[in-house]
Chain A
């Protein structure tokens, strides 16, 4: 009979040590994987592009998607490099992000908050997207920004113009490159006063939702500060298609300016209706009647056709700018797609590069590292001139364009002409400005 040295206690001890030994690397790996949501572990990193692919802003969403795909190409060292050649930060080398090849997945926001959240959630949870970018609506931006904050991924907003996105609804994980309604008012008002005089009576038609309200508030405040009187502000349902019954009262209101706080199809229809009623041919208070569209986009301008001739508005960016960043982007986009990019395309393109650059400078994809790298970041070479990503609210501050519907267009893309490049100082406001009050940026959330 042989005596065995194996005891129950010994087996347990050995098993525990062996188990710990085997588990140790896993614990470290698990710890590492749980550092932040969707940390890339392979040779690639996935970005999520959440744009309206169906619904009323599908055309704009498609333009954003084209720009995002172009940005991915440039990040991966394909094509002519676009703005990687003009960007003042030289962290991006055209070898992906932090050496990982950039891949992307897309979602359809449908310009509906719930659908946008669902598609962003799917891209984060199923596809492993580490950043969400895009969109053409403030309602969608605020909804997706909230989701990204909870999920622990970065949200690089697309076209969102409501003050609330970086005001009362701002979040630490969210960043907006696009300008906002306050900036539109601050840029437009002096031009309006110079071109139309300081004694004007304005009538506002406003889309009845978050963005419309903040734009109306901003334009009313800035024009009244210039001496204008606001005759009336009328909210119009978002679903309206025929604005004739809203336009008709303008005729007898004593107003000599109509401000259309509308966007997309609403703007195309309300402007078309206003022109049909001959408003621009009228003389009221001994002044020529004028129409103002505070927020323009190239695609809307194309939809409005000849009706926008001479109508003033504002934009975040326009392809006709002559800085090196704009030239590089327009050349890349134009040669690839055969048309100039819209300003929503430009903001999405810039946001993708800014995110990638922040990762490179931070040396990590960790959202908190990216937030730190973007806060207070000053840059140039992406098309908007010198720009600051303000740390207090994650809003970009840069020059704003005042534009006018082209009077003598020479081709299909020549729909708008740049009237003024309003300097950034004129559109900058304090972080605690009343129009942006009530929110809390909070702390970055790395998730996981």
Chain B
């Protein structure tokens, strides 16, 4: 920076940014605090902030008395399963498009993206019919497949942009030095591709974890992931704020942490390279 910054200005910007940042983060913070309160404290008037008897009772209640463990398991299976399946299908495709681009490559990429823009309600009933026909309503396999298909364009796209950054000359050099195709893949390509594949996996687990159209409509209990489980709190009985908060925190905490690590990939993955 060529410009000198006065300390006073810097402190002013710091105060303003922290204030706004905390304001935006506040709902999550408040949920976190409430999750450690008793149900009575959770709705006390005036609200209490930090000085209350912190209890982990809500967490144990939610874990023991509800379908939470099943929902958590379903979320993990669906998010991870659909991502891995998507990666298996997408890696060869992205690879071929990045290293052996043809005349049609651009069209294929754009066409894949366009499938992502199909509104879900446009195919709602046929999917319900197909799922019923195969007897897989409310099953994990159905959601794994659907979420894989929804996110496949993003996976292909992200991998493509990562692979394209790998210089082709390195591959040629390896070939000149007499590396076999197997060695070329294991020792040259894979190390360069792993970071890109890893960030693609991360972002897609996040997207699949939070998907809340198909997961709500196509599941009832057996395959219901956390999105659906939490939605069941919308018709509650009696005091439930603290338990809702505990369930919410458990549902978002792992993804929040993963999300913070994938900030950069978010821009790349969701703008399809239109903003650099």
- Chain A complexes with chain B: no
